[in-house]
């Protein structure tokens, strides 16, 4: 094993150069014009699997972007891990806020700067390199390894569930490992034991059948933007409490132990506010910031438009108004049930003076994993060795929709062993990945396999 770790430590520069090539591919899954880049990126992953010496490499074509599978079965009696990650990335706008171009992969301040650096290409790469290190040093892999790397995570993984369900035997494993979450801070390795879910909607409000002169008709009909604002106002109050009837019914309460755990993390509110450029924080009354972002559901407006938004003034009474809004869900809420609650709320609350259409765009279920299983404890030991510090167990606010399905379909525990930082601008301009955590992540992946082989 020491030989593997030595090999990893002496190849740091090569790893960075190779990661750059992965990051230069513009694999923005939501952009139809980038479809060929997604294909190119799946080819890149496939080629890496070949170079690593994996077997049974398959590109599983879907209605959307390809899913890449590969495996190395060294001994059927050994435990098997399935490593999941995504090669797709978020859009890059606003482009002018990037210090270096998003697909150039610049190195500055011991970080690599590019879209997808921390979410999720850099993190996925840690596992590629750790497994390669075993082969390069002719050390037998301590476990059987399978990979499933998709290209649609950032658009809600629409094809993946079907593929997982249809390939249950191929994907059979004793644990699923995912590195697509964050550490608490750059010194504190973390194992995430809960992720929030998501329920995302778009609403269209229609007032009069055409845009009207606001002088001639103003006062006679309901303005759809006004109606939309009223409806939105009815969904969250001034205390940050969501007022959609029934919304909190299924919310699992935080345990006393969890609340104590959050408190022990010594959250620096001053630094947090300064970093975000706000004078005051706002959130659900009665909960701390870490609880609000990790363990409580939220309601957010993602976009709102309608009427005249050009330069100058136009006295118009618009025909239509739109909003995109979403809720982060926590165990045991489900996007299906929340959709029903939204429908029921709107049915009651929308005034007769306007019409409405609401559409569920995408959803994902919240995840909660037990922390006493062998897989998670193996990850904790690996993290401690790699980072030189005991990891903490955290709940995070982001979503990875497939986590719950892995548990349900493959009946295997999911380990969320992330090497990112929440300050690394995932989904924002100037995304980056700390190169020290990249290197420690590679070591951690190798150490995890060694620990888990004792299962
Ligand atoms: N890697 C993130 C999820 C994440 C972020 C987990 C931060 C923990 C901490 C993932 O790529 C992501 O962005 N997911 C989307 C899912 C959505 C598109 C269905 C999200 O959370 O918005
Ligand atoms: Mn991700
Ligand atoms: Mn993401």
Q: What is the CATH number of the domain that holds 41?
A: 3.40.630.10
- Closest-lying ligand 1 atom to the alpha carbon of residue 200: 19
Residue 105 included in any domain: yes
Question: Which DSSP state fits 114?
Answer: S
Q: Both 209 and 182 in a single domain?
A: no
- Could you tell me if 323 and 385 lie in one domain? no
**Residue listed under structure tokens 């059948």:** 209
**Six-digit token string for 205:** 């409000």
Residue 172 has a pLDDT of 98
Instruction: Provide the residue range defining the domain that includes 25.
Output: 2-195+367-452
Q: Which two tokens stand for residue 363?
A: 């959803």
> What integer pLDDT is reported at residue 15 of this predicted model?
98
Does the active-site annotation cover 275? no
Is 88 known to be catalytic? yes
Query: 304 to each of 134, 313, 450, how far by Cα in Å?
Result: 51, 19, 50
pLDDT of residue 56: 98
Ligand 1 centroid to 5 CA: how many Å? Answer: 30
- pLDDT of 455 > 90? The answer is no
Q: Give, in order, the Cα–Cα distances in Å from 80 to each of 74, 144, 145, 299.
A: 10, 4, 6, 39
Ligand nearest, relative to CA of residue 90: 3
Q: Is the pLDDT of residue 394 over 90?
A: yes
Q: What is the pLDDT of residue 424?
A: 97
Does the Cβ of 80 fall within 6 Å of ligand 1? Answer: no
**152, part of any domain:** yes
Instruction: Give per-residue pLDDT as tens, 282-292.
Output: 999 999 999 99
The reply to whether 168 falls in a domain is yes
| Residue of 153, 185, 367 best suited for mutating to test ligand 1, as the one with most atoms within 8 Å of CB | 153
Same domain, 212 and 162: no
Q: Measure the CA–CA gap between 197 and 194, rounded to whole angstroms.
A: 10
Domain end marker among 306, 329, 364? 364
Residue 292 lies in a domain: no
Distance 286 CA to ligand 2 centre (A): 30
Averaged pLDDT of the chain: 97
* Ligand 3 center from residue 119 Cα (angstroms): 6
Among 364, 391, 408, the domain boundary falls at 364
Q: Whose CA is nearest to atom 17 of ligand 1?
A: 156
Q: What is the pLDDT of residue 146?
A: 98
How sure is the predictor about 52, in pLDDT bands with cuts at 50, 70 and 90? very high
Residue 120 DSSP label: I
pLDDT of 427 reads 97
| Ligand 1 within 6 A of CB of 424 | no
Final residue before a domain boundary, out of 347, 364, 381: 364
109 with 25, same domain: the answer is yes
pLDDT at 266 over 90: no
pLDDT digits 0-9 by tens, 173-186: 999 999 999 999 98
| Cα-to-centroid distance, 376 and ligand 1 (Å) | 21
Establish if 289 belongs to a structural domain: no
User: What are the DSSP calls for 373-386, one per residue?
Assistant: SHHHHHHHHHHHHH
Judge whether 259 lies within some domain.
no
Ligand 1 atom nearest 401 alpha carbon: 19
Is residue 164 located within the same domain as residue 234? no
Give the H/E segment covering residue 392: strand 392-396
CATH at 312: 3.30.70.360
Active-site entry in 132, 150, 153, 180: 153
Cis omega (within 30 of 0) on the bond before 268? no
Tokens standing for residue 221: 């009909």
* Pair 366, 333: CB distance under 8 Å: yes
Q: How far is the CA of 397 from the centre of ligand 1 (A)?
A: 8
Chain CA centroid to CA 240, Å: 24
In a domain, 441, yes or no: yes
Indicate if 93 and 179 belong to the same structural domain: yes
Q: Cα 156–227–328 angle (5° rounding)? A: 25
Q: Which residue in 26, 37, 71, 88 is the catalytic one?
A: 88
**422 plus 301 within the same structural domain:** no
Percent of the chain with pLDDT over 90: 98
Query: Quick one: CA torsion of 148, 54, 173, 416, rounded to 10 degrees?
Result: -50
Residue 210 pLDDT > 90, yes or no? Answer: yes
**pLDDT tens by residue, 123-181:** 999 999 999 999 999 999 999 999 999 999 999 999 999 999 999 999 999 999 999 99
Domain identity same for 316 and 356: yes
Contact 224, 452 (CB under 8 A): no
Q: How confident is the model at residue 194 (pLDDT cuts 50, 70, 90)?
A: very high
**Is the pLDDT reported for residue 330 higher than 90?**
yes
Same domain, yes or no, for 68 and 32?
yes
Instruction: Dig out the tokens for 58 from the structure.
Output: 């398959």
Do the beta carbons of residue 265 and residue 288 sit within 8 Å? no
Q: At what angle do helices 12-23 and 35-52 cross, to 10 degrees?
A: 150
Please name the residues in contact with 45: beta carbons below 8 A apart, sequence gap of 6 or more: 68, 87, 149
In a domain, 274, yes or no: no
Residue nearest to atom 13 of ligand 1 (CA): 154
- Identify the H or E element spanning 131: helix 122-136
Question: Could you tell me the pTM of the whole model?
Answer: 0.95
Q: How many domains are there within the chain?
A: 2
pLDDT for position 362: 85
Kindly tell me if the per-residue pLDDT of 258 is higher than 90.
yes
401 C-beta closer than 6 A to ligand 1: yes
């Amino acid at each position: 094993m020491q030989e593997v770790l030595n090999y990893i430590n002496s190849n740091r520069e090569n790893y960075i150069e190779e990661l750059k090539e992965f990051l230069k591919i513009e694999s923005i899954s939501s952009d139809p014009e980038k479809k060929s880049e997604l294909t190119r990126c799946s080819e890149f992953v496939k080629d890496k699997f070949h170079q690593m010496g994996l077997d049974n490499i398959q590109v599983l074509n879907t209605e959307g972007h390809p899913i890449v599978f590969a495996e190395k079965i060294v001994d059927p009696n050994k435990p098997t891990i399935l490593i999941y990650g995504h090669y797709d990335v978020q859009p890059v706008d606003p482009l002018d806020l990037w210090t270096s171009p998003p697909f150039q992969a610049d190195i500055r301040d011991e970080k690599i700067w590019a879209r997808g650096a921390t979410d999720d290409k850099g993190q996925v790469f840690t596992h590629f390199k750790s497994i390669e290190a075993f082969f390069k040093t002719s050390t037998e892999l301590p476990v059987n390894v399978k990979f499933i790397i998709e290209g649609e995570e950032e658009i809600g993984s629409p094809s993946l569930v079907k593929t997982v369900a249809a390939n249950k035997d191929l994907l059979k494993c004793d644990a699923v490992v995912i590195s697509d979450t964050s550490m608490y801070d750059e010194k504190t390795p973390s194992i995430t034991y809960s992720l929030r879910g998501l329920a995302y909607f778009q609403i269209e409000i229609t007032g009069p059948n055409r845009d009207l002169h606001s002088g001639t008709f103003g006062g006679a009909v309901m303005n759809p933007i006004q109606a939309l604002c009223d409806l939105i106002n009815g969904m969250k109050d001034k205390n940050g409490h969501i007022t959609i009837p029934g919304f909190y019914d299924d919310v699992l309460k935080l345990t006393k132990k969890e609340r104590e755990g959050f408190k022990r993390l010594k959250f620096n509110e001053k630094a947090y506010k300064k970093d975000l450029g706000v004078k005051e924080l706002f959130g659900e009354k009665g909960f701390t910031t870490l609880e609000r972002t990790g363990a409580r559901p939220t309601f957010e407006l993602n976009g709102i438009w309608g009427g005249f938004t050009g330069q100058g003034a136009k006295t118009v009474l618009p025909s239509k108004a739109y909003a995109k809004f979403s809720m982060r869900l926590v165990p045991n809420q489900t996007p299906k049930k929340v959709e029903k609650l939204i429908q029921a709320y709107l049915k009651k609350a929308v005034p007769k003076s306007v019409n409405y259409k609401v559409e569920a765009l995408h959803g994902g279920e919240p995840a909660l994993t037990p922390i006493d299983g062998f897989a998670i404890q193996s990850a904790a030991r690996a993290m401690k060795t790699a980072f030189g510090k005991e990891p903490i167990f955290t709940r995070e606010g982001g979503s990875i929709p497939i986590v719950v399905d892995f548990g349900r379909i493959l009946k295997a525990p999911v380990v969320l062993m992330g090497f990112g930082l929440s300050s690394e601008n995932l989904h924002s301009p100037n995304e980056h990945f700390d190169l020290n955590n990249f290197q420690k992540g590679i070591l951690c992946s190798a150490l995890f396999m060694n620990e888990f082989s004792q299962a």
